[in-house]
Chain A
Amino acid sequence: MSPSLETAAHPQGLRRVAIDPVSRVEGHGKVTILLDAANRVQQVRLHIVEFRGFEKFIEGRPYWEVPVMVQRLCGICPVSHHLAASKALDRVVGASPVTPSADKIRRLMHYGQVMQSHALHFFHLSSPDLMFGFDSEVNRRNIVGVALAHPDIARKGVLLRKFGQEVIRATAGKRVHGTGSVPGGVNKHVSADDRALLQRDVAQMTAWARDAIGIAKQLHAANPALYDNFGRFRSNMLSLVRADGALDLYDGVLRARDAGGKILFDGASDQGYLDLIEEEVKPWTYMKFPFLKSLGREQGWYRVGPLARLQNCDFIPSPLAEAQRQEFIDWGKGEPIHAPLAYHWARMIEVLHCVEVIEELLADPDILAGELMAEGSRRRSGVGVIEAPRGTLIHHYEVGDDDLVTMCNLIVSTTHNNQAMNEAVRSVAREYLDGHELTEGLLNHIEVAIRAYDPCLSCATHALGQMPLDVALVGPDGELIDRVVKSAQGGFRHEGGSPTGLPA
């Protein structure tokens, strides 16, 4: 078996298969697995088509339109793009820092976003797998099964998410298509009525967030062999941290650690991200592979998101979540935790932290009154970095004298995690691909590994009829041994014929 499985050692003996998107619409994952004559796995690749062409879509637009337009990147976390773009363009209009009111209202919006996104992920998507195991019968591996076994969990998940949405509405102006954040600040305060409405429910949200962490911990304790090892690989980790090392999801400096937990760099300005990170292009996928320049292409790849953030920071600046983080760190017994399934546990600790931050900000009078906009000397370019629900999100713009965007560069969290997701799928293929039939069980194991990262599948397009996952198995003579496609409704079908499109 090829050690890395990214590229077969002797590809001449293996057929290059081409995988065609099931439709022209982007938005699904594709996995290709190549076998040798002994049916051993020689190559595994995860293809995710994402954000192709978005930079060109933005270039040429007036800069003040950008924070609104970029929300169309993602229907799950539009606020993250809204705020990352605003932060970058704050630099362009010379509003750095923004006013205290603007900073706190934006933070409130962002923590509401992260909280609701995490709640959706855990309660609706991942908890069925986690609670019943990946091999449970399909008709129990769903939210209904969770609801039956834990009758309150689905309701808690929906209402936690609803609370986060209400935070966004109170700060962004609308539940969707928000316009609250603009280059230089925000355009409205939080109303006293909205604040009272949110404050009424905070205590309940805190209790539910603690319950969710309890579920995650129970799962790890019940089956540590599975939770500590499934899809596991070691990697570097990257995130923003506050200047004093605290967890900060809205702003900070860049810090990276190696797989052993040693700090690789710290205190790096987000404006200089290009000095730290480079993106590699590979011929078999549209999505790039970022890596830390200091370590190079082979050793420099990393992962981002809750698992990285909780281990990259020195502490969480809210007491309940920090106590939970300590327990999480202790689970690693002195070593960084690299298990993908630990993302879920980390995610729930962040939900609790978000609720604590929201409660603190709701009590701050600056969200009700104070200067909303700052201004300063105009600059030609700006970078905005934020910790989105799935990880570090970078927006970089250059703006001409005519106010039109001349350059746009986005590195989203799914791109940062590209190599990590590929590694997770390879780990699963090594462990679970037995023979040359793609079973529903194997497909589900692959899904569980990908789901831990919850990649953004060019997500704002979801026409009916789309197939979200496509897995192909290719033999040594190039024959397509098997191909399975799974629909969003759970339909699982084998398809014959050789697809065309991207090289394997």
Chain B
Amino acid sequence: MTAPLLVFGWGNPSRGDDALGPLFVERLRAALPPTGGVDYLDDYQLQVEHALDLIGRQRVLFVDASLNGSAPFEVTPLRPVQDASFSTHAMSPQALLQVYCDLQGDEPPPCTLLAIRGERFELGEALSPSGQVHLAAALAWAPTWLGPAATLSLDLC
């Protein structure tokens, strides 16, 4: 059964603040009672087949670490954009929405990007102190996006 909302975070858990996306998903899932209204997904990075995970959704929240966005986080609506990457090893959420359009012949569901500012991305590093602060702030914002689906009585931080 496809839930109307999808929260999708990506990044490498072993590279410091690159873990911000998956950690956001993990902590939100733990804090939110399982109502069936929200699906959660995490991965190392975006891939074309993730376009299939958008089918049937009412709204989607993409969550990633950001190298140069504003702290603690930025929230922006996403629109499909043609990809121009030269590597299979990088794909933008905008490009993923374009893949959805190509596959479905239709506009994707409303998608929002939550870009949490990170500072340290070295292999084997833990989340940085500022990354922890930014993650907490992002989780505190989460009910704003979730709306009625969020009955967050637990401590998200």
Contact = CB atoms under 8 A, between A and B. Distances in A.
Interface of A: 23-25, 27, 29, 52-54, 56-57, 69, 71-72, 74-76, 78, 117, 120-121, 124-125, 138-139, 141-144, 147, 154-155, 157-158, 161-162, 165, 175-176, 447, 450-451, 454-457, 459-466, 468-469, 486-490
B66 A154 contact: no
Contacts of A124: 48, 83, 88, 99
A155 B87 contact: no
A490 B98 CA distance: 14
Contacts of A451: 86-87
B64 A486 contact: no
Given A72-B44, A466-B67, A461 B99 contact: no
Interface stretch (B11-19, B31-39, B149-157): B11-19
B12 A72 contact: yes
Interface SS, B side: loop
B6 interface: no
A488 B12 contact: no
B84 A464 contact: no
A452 to B, nearest CB: 11
B43 interface: yes
B121 A464 contact: no
Contact of B118 (A121, A147, A463): A463
Nearest to B17: A463
Given A147-B102, A489-B94, A461 B121 contact: yes
Given A147-B102, A176-B43, A459 B121 contact: no
Contacts of B15: 72, 460-461
A25 B46 CA distance: 17
Contacts of A139: 82
Contacts of B113: 464
Contact of A157 (B11, B48, B84): B48
B65 interface: yes
Given A450-B86, A451-B86, A464 B64 contact: yes
B144 interface: no
Interface magnitude class on chain B: 35 or more
Given A143-B102, A154-B102, A158-B52, A120 B64 contact: no
A69 B14 CA distance: 9
B12 A460 contact: yes
B112 interface: no
Given A57-B14, A154-B103, A464-B66, A469 B48 contact: no
Contacts of A464: 64-67, 69, 92, 113, 115
A144 B12 contact: no
Interface string B76-97: 0000011111111111101100
* Most chain A beta-carbon contacts within 10 A, residue among B68, B85, B120: B85
Contact of A463 (B65, B94, B98): B65
Nearest to A163: B49
A468 B68 CA distance: 15
A125 B88 contact: yes
A396 to B, nearest CB: 19
Best-buried of A57, A124, A141, A447 by chain B (most CB within 10 Å): A124
Interface in B1-31: 10-15, 17-18
B90 A27 contact: yes
A451 B14 CA distance: 27
Interface of B: 10-15, 17-18, 42-49, 51-52, 64-69, 81-92, 94-95, 98-99, 102-103, 113, 115, 118, 120-124
B14 A165 contact: no
Contacts of A175: 43
B91 A143 contact: no
Contact of B123 (A53, A176, A468): A53
Given A72-B12, A120-B47, A154-B99, A468 B83 contact: no
A147 B95 CA distance: 14
A464 B113 CA distance: 10
A15 B76 CA distance: 43
B81 A52 contact: no
Contacts of B89: 27, 74-76, 454-457, 459, 462
Given A24-B121, A143-B102, A460 B44 contact: yes
Among the interface residues A72, A117, A124, A462, which one has the most CB atoms of the partner chain B within 10 A? A462
A345 B64 CA distance: 35
Pick the most buried of B49, B51, B52: most chain A CB atoms within 10 A of its CB. B49
B123 A463 contact: no
A75 B67 contact: no
B45 A462 contact: yes
Contacts of B49: 158, 161-162, 165
A489 B91 CA distance: 8
Given A57-B14, A72-B44, A488-B92, A469 B123 contact: no
Contacts of B120: 24
A142 B81 CA distance: 10
Given A464-B66, A488-B90, 10 more contacts: A24-B120, A71-B44, A124-B83, A125-B87, A142-B82, A454-B87, A461-B12, A461-B18, A468-B85, A488-B95
A489 B92 contact: yes
Nearest to B124: A57
Contacts of B124: 53, 56-57
Contact of A468 (B47, B82, B90): B90
B44 A486 contact: no
Taking each of A69, A117, A125, which has the highest tally of chain B beta carbons within 10 Å of its own beta carbon? A125
B133 to A, nearest CB: 17
A75 B48 contact: no
Nearest to B14: A72
A454 to B, nearest CB: 5
A52 B50 CA distance: 29
Nearest to A146: B102
21 contacts: A25-B67, A29-B86, A53-B124, A57-B124, A75-B12, A120-B47, A120-B48, A124-B48, A124-B99, A125-B86, A143-B83, A147-B102, A161-B47, A447-B86, A454-B87, A455-B87, A459-B90, A462-B64, A463-B11, A488-B84, A490-B84
